[in-house]
Amino acid sequence: MEKAKDGDKVRVHYTGKLDDGTVFDSSMDRDPLEFTLGQDQVIFGFERAVIGMEPGQKKKATVAPEEGYGPHRPEMLVEVPRNQFPEDLEPEVDQRLQMKRRDGQILIVRVADVSGDSVTLDANHPLAGKELIFDIELVEIEK
């Protein structure tokens, strides 16, 4: 049986969990995830886990932050004066907001803290710094 390798287009079903068992994403109720190995279309650790699998094979893979969404970087936290927010916006912890950078790029941030006259925003990916556990099933290798 053929094994998945760089350059192959693959379809996989997966469930991603945190170490406490919380599911953060799953393809089980939708079409399999389709991507080409070696094209940086998914996080490195997930791709590395799929390489060498055969169609129909299932495996559990643990992905360290360095091979996932990176470490949680404190420099990605920024404290913003409350008066810089629109008057009709009431920031709440864990709320997702869009910010426009000086170069015009839109950045999604999470409200990390609201206190007095300031709001702390976190631009880290929500899964940064977390070990990720994937249950993966290689459905198909397309040639």
- Clarify whether residues 21 and 88 are in a common domain: no
Is 52 found in the same domain as 86? no
The number of distinct structural domains making up the chain is: 2
Q: Does 103 lie in the same domain as 59?
A: no
Of 11, 22, 10, 12, which is closest to residue 132 (Cα–Cα)? Answer: 22
- 25: containing domain: 9-70+127-142
Q: For residue 52, is pLDDT > 80?
A: yes
Within this chain, do residues 110 and 137 fall inside the same structural domain, yes or no? no
Q: Give the CATH number for residue 54.
A: 3.10.50.40
Pairing of strands 9-17, 132-142: antiparallel
Which of residues 101 and 93 earns the better pLDDT score?
93
Query: Per-residue pLDDT averaged across 104-119, rounded?
Result: 93
Give the confidence band of 59 by pLDDT, cuts at 50, 70, 90: very high
Note whether 35 and 60 are same-domain residues. Answer: yes
Q: Where does the pLDDT of residue 100 fall: very low under 50, low under 70, confident under 90, or very high at 90 and above?
A: confident
CB 103 within 8 A of CB 18: no
Question: For 65-94, what is each residue's pLDDT tens digit?
Answer: 999 999 999 999 999 999 998 889 999 999
Average pLDDT, the chain: 95
pLDDT at residue 33 in the model: 98
* H/E run at residue 34: strand 33-36
Tell me whether residue 3 is in a domain: no
Task: Specify the DSSP element, H or E, that contains 122.
Answer: strand 118-122
Is 114 found in the same domain as 85? yes
Residues 132 and 62 in one domain: yes
